[in-house]
């Protein structure tokens, strides 16, 4: 037994043509680098912006830790690390909702807006997990419920209360809010494509040939690092104003 354990490799091998594994690896590095960038930049900003940058760093840092595990899991089993994926999302997506609240606080955003967005994002992710991991033969219906929660978020930030607050704030805050809104409308729309690529449904013929993990990994890199950079730019432009 001891000999057998000693003979096991400590690190799973990553095949040179394993492009899925490659995106996990690069994703992990990118998240680590982005976290270092956001955390280290905090001290150069006014106190008011430090919390926003801290949250940006936490989002990429939590993702980096999950990518570390997902990278290993993929290399060992060549299987989608669905559980780690959704644990990551259920922690980081609510934090992205917190970012919306933090930048709109200057315009008087209330906590109720933050909690509503968080609630909708949790509904979106839990129903997505049920369709992807638990009730796969009903993936279409769970995906639809998840999509409704997603559109409720899109509505709130594009046309609802969050939009009104952003307009009241004006200037750089309004601009940052608009950019984040585009990330949610276009960047977050990458995820349902990954879901349709990885679950059975009417969409098999359209997305069936794509790899779910590659799509999710691209989505994460764009959205998590992109969100943080929008907040960073807002802090830069607000700090040079004063």
Ligand X SMILES: *C/C=C(C)/C=C/C=C(C)/C=C/C1=C(C)CCCC1(C)C
Alpha carbon distance 242, 208 (integer Å): 52
Name which of 192 and 238 has its Cβ closer to ligand X: 192
Question: Is position 61 an interface residue for ligand X (rule: CB under 6 A)?
Answer: no
150-169: which residues touch ligand X (CB under 6 A)? Answer: 150
Question: Is position 147 an interface residue for ligand X (rule: CB under 6 A)?
Answer: yes
State CA 226 to chain mean position distance. Answer: 10
Question: Is position 224 an interface residue for ligand X (rule: CB under 6 A)?
Answer: yes
Residue 36's H or E segment, with its range, is helix 19-41
Name which of 74 and 195 has its Cβ closer to ligand X: 195
Residues 153/121, Cβ–Cβ less than 8 Å: yes
Name which of 188 and 207 has its Cβ closer to ligand X: 188
Closest contact distance (angstroms) between CB of 177 and ligand X is 17
Name which of 213 and 238 has its Cβ closer to ligand X: 213
Tokens of 173: 């805050």
Reference 76, options 5, 18, 28, 7; nearest CA is 18
Name which of 12 and 133 has its Cβ closer to ligand X: 133
172-191: which residues touch ligand X (CB under 6 A)? Answer: 188, 191
How many angstroms separate the first and last alpha carbons of the chain? Answer: 67
Give start and end residues of each alpha helix (H) in 42-170.
47-77, 82-104, 111-129, 139-158, 161-169
Phi, psi of 139 (to 5 degrees): -55, -35
Closest contact distance (angstroms) between CB of 206 and ligand X is 15
Question: Is position 84 an interface residue for ligand X (rule: CB under 6 A)?
Answer: no
# residues contacting ligand X (CB under 6 A): 17
Closest contact distance (angstroms) between CB of 139 and ligand X is 9
8 exposed, middle or buried (CB, 10 Å; 0-12, 13-18, 19+)?
exposed
- x/- string (CB under 6 A) for ligand X, residues 90-129? --xx------------------------------xx--x-
Among 162, 215, 223, 225, binds ligand X (CB under 6 A): 223
Name which of 213 and 220 has its Cβ closer to ligand X: 220
Alpha carbon distance 24, 31 (integer Å): 11
Closest contact distance (angstroms) between CB of 200 and ligand X is 13
Question: Is position 192 an interface residue for ligand X (rule: CB under 6 A)?
Answer: yes
Give start and end residues of each alpha helix (H) in 130-225.
139-158, 161-169, 171-182, 190-198, 204-207, 212-220
Could you list the residues that contact ligand X (CB under 6 A)? 89, 92-93, 124-125, 128, 143, 146-147, 150, 188, 191-192, 195, 220, 223-224
């Amino acid at each position: 037994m001891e000999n057998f354990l000693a003979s096991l490799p400590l690190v799973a091998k990553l095949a040179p043509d394993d492009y899925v594994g490659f995106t996990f690896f690069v994703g992990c590095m990118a998240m680590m680098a982005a976290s270092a960038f956001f955390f280290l930049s905090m001290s150069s900003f006014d106190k008011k912006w430090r919390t926003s940058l801290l949250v940006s760093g936490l989002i990429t840092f939590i993702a980096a830790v999950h990518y570390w595990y997902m990278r290993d899991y993929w290399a060992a089993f060549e299987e989608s690390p669905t559980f780690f994926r959704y644990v990551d999302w259920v922690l980081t997506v609510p934090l992205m909702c917190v970012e919306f609240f933090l930048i709109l606080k200057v315009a008087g955003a209330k906590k109720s807006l933050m909690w509503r967005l968080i609630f909708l994002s949790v509904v979106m992710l839990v129903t997505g997990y049920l369709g992807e991991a638990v009730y796969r033969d009903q993936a279409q219906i769970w995906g639809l419920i998840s999509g409704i929660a997603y559109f409720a978020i899109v509505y709130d930030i594009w046309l609802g209360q969050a939009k009104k607050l952003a307009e009241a704030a004006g200037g750089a805050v309004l601009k940052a809010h608009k950019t984040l809104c585009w990330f949610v409308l276009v960047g977050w729309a990458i995820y349902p494509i990954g879901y349709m690529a990885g679950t059975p449904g009417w969409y098999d013929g359209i997305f069936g040939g794509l790899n779910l993990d590659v799509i999710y990994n691209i989505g994460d890199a764009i959205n998590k690092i992109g969100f943080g950079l929008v907040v960073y730019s807002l802090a830069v432009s607000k700090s040079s104003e004063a």
